[in-house]
Amino acid sequence: MTDISTRLREDFILRNPLLTASGTYGYGNEITDLVDLELYSGIVTKSISLQPRIGNPPPRIAEVACGMLNSIGLANIGLDRFLAEKAEFLSTYSGKVIVSIVGRNEEEYVQVVRKLNTQQWIAAYEINVSCPNVREGGILFGQEPGILGKLVRKLRHETSKFMIVKLTPNVTDIRILALAAQKSGADALALINTVYGAAINIQTRRPKISTVIGGLSGPAIKPIAIAHIIKTYKEVDIPIIGVGGISDGSDVIEFLLAGASAVQIGTANFYNPGVVGEILDYIENYCSEKEIDCLQDLIGRVEI
């Protein structure tokens, strides 16, 4: 049988390339009646901040052609409740628990990581840098390489756990941010976060989400994600985790060929909760038909 595990660092091996995408599975325990989480190699939690956040007012999700607009506003239960209410479930999960973290400034990120570091069941962090730095005039951490690098260096000083930096595509050249993250100590990159999008109800003439502009996810952004991964794979020496529009097994193979070592499945879970099982079956059949002994042999093998 094909070895479908993937190695992101010598001490960080995934049993298969499939992770959940942050925000699409909550904290994991909410969807156990629908999905066998053990089919995934890891869970990326909903983003956690130092203090609870109520997020943006509704409506904050809208279905659009080939995807979904969302403007949740990083709503979450906050660090203390996360540890009090979710640790028991997550600590029993056999896969990797990857905690997504956010903050309004560097100090908040540091405080969250410092407190989470005491939890042995946490395998890694995903640093969500698509949020505004209030001390830098509201610029997103992930849009300026100097600000991003400084944040990653501070977090690297705080932890030896595996650290993924999730980058926004809403920049001029994502490679500059990727290199800044790598140079500052990131172990891997997640490409990509959502793309700016908007939709209007033509009957009411009002935007379909309260913030007018939100983040577009789903199949519509897959070609954008693939393009960013192809460009970035040539420039960095750390693994890439592909995110954006994965709907089936062929999408996963495409992401691997582009240069991703693993992938995260997000929006597809909303309309097909059983997609993970279907994808694993596809990967195994594809590798068998192509006589591929090790899934890692596909990474970055697009012929350009």
Catalytic residues: 131
For residues 75 and 6, what is the distance between their CA atoms, to the nearest angstrom? Answer: 32
For residues 243 and 115, what is the distance between their CA atoms, to the nearest angstrom? Answer: 28
For residues 256 and 262, what is the distance between their CA atoms, to the nearest angstrom? Answer: 7
Q: Comparing C-alpha atoms, which of 178, 214, 180, 177 is closest to residue 194? A: 214
For residues 12 and 120, what is the distance between their CA atoms, to the nearest angstrom? Answer: 14
Q: State the sign of the Cα–Cα–Cα–Cα dihedral 74, 274, 248, 240.
A: positive
- Asked if 126 contacts 74 with a C-beta cutoff of 8 angstroms, the reply is no
Q: Comparing C-alpha atoms, which of 186, 295, 297 is closest to residue 236? A: 186
